[in-house]
A and B are shown apart, each in its own frame.
Chain A
Amino acid sequence: MKLLLIEDDREVSNFIAKGMKEAGHTIDCAYSGKDGLFLATTEFYDALIVDRMLPELDGLKIVKTLRGTGSFTPVLILSALAEVDDRVSGLRSGGDDYLVKPFAFTELLARIEILGRRSEKQQGEREETRLVVGDLEMDLLSRKVRRQGRDIELQSREFSLLEYMMKNKGQVVTRTLLLEQVWDYHFDPQTNVIDVHISRLRRKIDKGFDKPIIKTVRGAGYIIET
């Protein structure tokens, strides 16, 4: 993916750029709002990472201006402001995702990859009704899950959890992403309850099969792949 990062703190910017390059993406860095907006309007990018508090032109204004010009490039807003209000105002200005500083790089990477993928999907494919990962199949209409032809009984939350991971197969999904997307609440669980939910799900879909489908990515989250 080709990314643009608009962030005034050089160190944070270098750190993100380095990580993205390691993950195989190309990335341009702008250190002020003006430069960033200029790049965003003149070049093509798969996704933007925009800091909210910037010198000269703040992040929200950049996003608003971009949306005003008819650009639908996905934007992830980085911010030191953590309250629900701030998040809502960030998303309302046209941002697609909102990540609070400080963040783990893996979290940013997972989110930006999912954002980039989402925009690819929107351009072509229609909504799938059947998801397949290796020998695991999920029918979204009849809400049935089968592995190697064997039916697997899942509770509704387990089903949504698996559905989200299968829709993003081959991509790391972080715990926070799962909380936001599957449980649809923005909150901070004090304990790693998500891990317990995943291990429950694992017991149902991996037990009795030689190859586990849900893998743990250390320090990041989970991934479904064959």
Chain B
Amino acid sequence: MALLFTVLCGAVAMSLGYFINYFAKGHFVQSTQAVIDSEIKYLDALGAIPDKKHNPGRLYVLLGPHGKLPENFPQPAKFFTEGLLVFQLSETRQRYAARIHTLKEHHKLLVGVDITAMAENFDFMQGIGVASIVFVMVVVFVSFVISVFVVDGTNKIAETAQKIIHTGDLSRRIEMKFRWDDLGNLANVLNALLDRVEELMRGVREVSDNIAHDLRTPLTRMRSHIEHLQKLQPENPGITKLLQEADQILNTFAALLRISRIETEQQRSQFTALALDQLLFDVLEFYEPLAEEKNIQLSRHLQPTPIHGDRDLLFQAFANVLDNAVKYTPAGGWINISATRRDERNVISIENSAEPFTLSELDKLFQRFYRADKSRSQPGSGLGLSLVAAVVSLHSGQVKAESYKGGLRIITIL
């Protein structure tokens, strides 16, 4: 970008200089011609060579028979345009423009006018042209340096932002060499913003840790009281039910806390190199007896799919998907799992036969506490797939649900 900008500026400067030069030259030639023309008209009207004294700045030289200039006459320096000679008289250093005019008696006369002043004007204009080119070039060069500097700065800001998004490490700051310019100022403001965000996040974390501690301890007590009750009356079905309800609350609470921790902290400290296909194989093996009980046909197609990720979280995520699949596949149905590697990414598709979902249901599947109408009869918290979404986004992947051949397909790209 910076380079393109510089090249364009350079081109504009060159053409500007060229035009200044061109117009100045055109003007100069025209006015010189006009002066000479009027001089010739005057000569014709006069019918004689006028006295030099009364016409300062004029030059009349009678040429020889073949239109030759006298021997001692300086040679014309250059031809301006056709029929116009320019030369400099050595003794006075005056410059003349001249034209050869044929008098009535077939004598040839060189009619010259002093153009020293005009030429100086022209030189001056040419100087301005060159100067403006040089000046604009300097401007272009300086702006190139500045733009490289600015681009470098903005890239640095973008890079830091990107790193924060990917690693979730809010302690990163934008490092700038200079603090006095606008970008340095912007970086300072952004760093201050990051300070604030970090502080807020720490606050949120503290709050959720406190909730975890302050709620879990009384819940632990409550659970232990119920457990104690159960010991006293082991056959009381009400107490067993109470314990189940308490566990359900605790599980939902733990799952919510877990999802928000995954989402806000972006912890990648447990990431290692893994074989996703092996992990999926383990998940499948774990759920296989459950599927067998429901007479569900399980089929798998697992290609080597290496990944850098959190083993326990990934296992949990795919266990959640498979758990749902086994739960909602009608008895005698099927579940297909495939893992393939495509364009440097892993594509995991888990399909199961199920009643068709509407588009709005598909959209909501990953929302917290959402439970499709047909799933209300089954136990669950409505957090399973939300956790999947959180884990997948921690691994910078995507997950989506779609209807598929009378079933549901969950596609995960990691």
Contacts and interface: CB of A to CB of B under 8 A. Distances in A.
Partners in one complex: yes
Interface of A: 9, 11-12, 15, 53, 80-85, 88, 100-105, 157, 183, 185-191, 193, 196-197, 200, 218-219
A212 to B, nearest CB: 19
- Cβ-closest 4 pairs across A and B: A102-B220, A187-B316, A15-B224, A80-B216
Given A15-B228, A81-B212, A82-B212, A188 B289 contact: no
Contact of A187 (B209, B243, B250, B315): B315
Contacts of A82: 212, 254, 257-258
A200 B313 contact: no
B290 to A, nearest CB: 5
B217 A80 contact: yes
A149 B155 CA distance: 74
Interface string B308-343: 001111011001100100110000000000000000
B152 interface: no
Contacts of A104: 223, 227
A219 B327 contact: no
Interface in B225-243: 225, 227-228, 230, 234, 243
Nearest to B289: A196
Nearest to A9: B217
A12 B223 CA distance: 10
Given A85-B267, A193-B286, A197-B289, A187 B312 contact: yes
Nearest to A7: B217
Interface of B: 209, 212-213, 216-217, 219-221, 223-225, 227-228, 230, 234, 243, 250-251, 254-255, 257-258, 261, 267, 269-270, 282, 285-287, 289-290, 293, 310-313, 315-316, 319-320, 323, 326-327, 379-380, 384
B292 to A, nearest CB: 8
Nearest to B227: A105
A102 B216 contact: yes
Contacts of B287: 193
**A contact patch SS:** loop
Contacts of B384: 190
A11 B209 CA distance: 21
Nearest to A158: B289
A219 B240 CA distance: 9
Contacts of B289: 193, 196-197, 200
A101 B220 contact: yes
30 contacts: A9-B217, A11-B224, A12-B224, A15-B228, A81-B209, A82-B257, A82-B258, A83-B267, A84-B310, A85-B267, A88-B270, A100-B254, A101-B216, A101-B217, A102-B216, A102-B219, A102-B223, A185-B312, A185-B315, A186-B312, A187-B312, A190-B319, A190-B320, A190-B384, A191-B290, A191-B323, A191-B327, A193-B323, A196-B289, A197-B289
B364 to A, nearest CB: 19
A200 B316 CA distance: 23
A196 B254 contact: no
B323 A189 contact: yes
A126 to B, nearest CB: 31
Contacts of A189: 286, 319, 323
A188 B220 contact: no
Nearest to B381: A190
B313 A84 contact: yes
Contacts of B310: 84
B221 A80 contact: no
A103 B319 CA distance: 22
Contacts of B282: 183, 185
Contacts of A197: 286, 289
Contact of B290 (A187, A193, A218): A193
B319 A187 contact: yes
Contact of B217 (A12, A81, A83): A12
A82 B255 CA distance: 10
A75 to B, nearest CB: 19
A187 B293 CA distance: 22
A74 B400 CA distance: 45
Contacts of A193: 286-287, 289-290, 323
A219 B270 CA distance: 33
A11 B218 CA distance: 9
Contact of B286 (A83, A102, A183): A183
Contacts of B312: 84, 185-187
A105 B222 CA distance: 12
A187 B255 CA distance: 11
Contacts of A88: 269-270
A84 B265 CA distance: 12
B388 to A, nearest CB: 12
A104 B320 CA distance: 23
A185 B380 CA distance: 21
Contacts of A196: 289-290, 293
- Among A12, A82, A84, A105: residue with most chain B CB under 10 A: A84
A188 B251 contact: yes
B240 to A, nearest CB: 8
A53 B243 CA distance: 26
Contacts of B320: 190
A80 B316 contact: no
B380 A190 contact: yes
B43 to A, nearest CB: 105
B236 to A, nearest CB: 13
Contacts of B269: 85, 88
A188 B257 CA distance: 14
Contacts of A191: 290, 323, 326-327, 379
Contacts of A200: 289
